[in-house]
Structure 1
Amino acid sequence: MQRRRQKPVHEVFNDGFMKYGRKKTKRNEARKRIGEEFSEEGKLAFHLLTAREEDYRFAGLMSASLDLKVKTRFPPSFKNVRKTNLKVVIEEIEYDVIDVDRDNDKRYLYFYLQEVGVTSE
């Protein structure tokens, strides 16, 4: 008699935490631009996903290269977040957000990310 595997009760997001936010311009006392710094707007637990061929094609159409695809829960506060110029930091590596997609039930978000480099915080 073969034993049936049970489905998990809920999905697990234990691959890490990502911070999302935007870049803000840093200025000196003379109001001259001296660089940029990451301004965090929130933090989400994520699950790494394998990108499909159509995901790579989609990123190519957006003139970007897909480096990482992650899945997170859809927090209610994210409805008010502007998706333009959004940045993500995972383990001190900064990514540009190519696109943020949601599922039909509005339970999960899918982030398509392009690596920019190491953050300087």
Structure 2
Amino acid sequence: MSLERWIELAWEVREHAYAPYSQFRVGAVLVGSQGQCFQGCNVENLSFGLTNCAERVALGSAVAAGVREICQVVVVADTEIPISPCGACRQVLAEFGNPEVWLVNRHRSEVFRLEDLLPRAREGILDRRGD
């Protein structure tokens, strides 16, 4: 499957987002190491703190299907500039590799490696090499 198709799937799933409070809809597609494709959209909650981001919804489906390595992430939103995964999503995605992360709006796209968006994600407080 191509990047164009992943972007198309992300826009399609974005339409299913549950965003009654913010009206801010996000779609995501994650691609596993074997080419498996998983879609997710954001699911808001009145408390906002319990809202599930599109990336983590897609990741839950991927993990439930047995995927343990993510190679590509596509995130779409109808914003002026392409949006980036939040810090929580970045950290959770880091458990499953260092994928390319495509940030897409209606006019352009940008691509990063996850480690560029969240350096040292697997080290942090558990890195004891400095002791």
TM over 0.5: no
Higher relative contact order (CA 8 A, sep 6+): 1
| Structure richer in strand, relative to its length | 1
Structure 1 or 2, whichever has the larger Rg, is: 1
| Structure richer in helix, relative to its length | 2
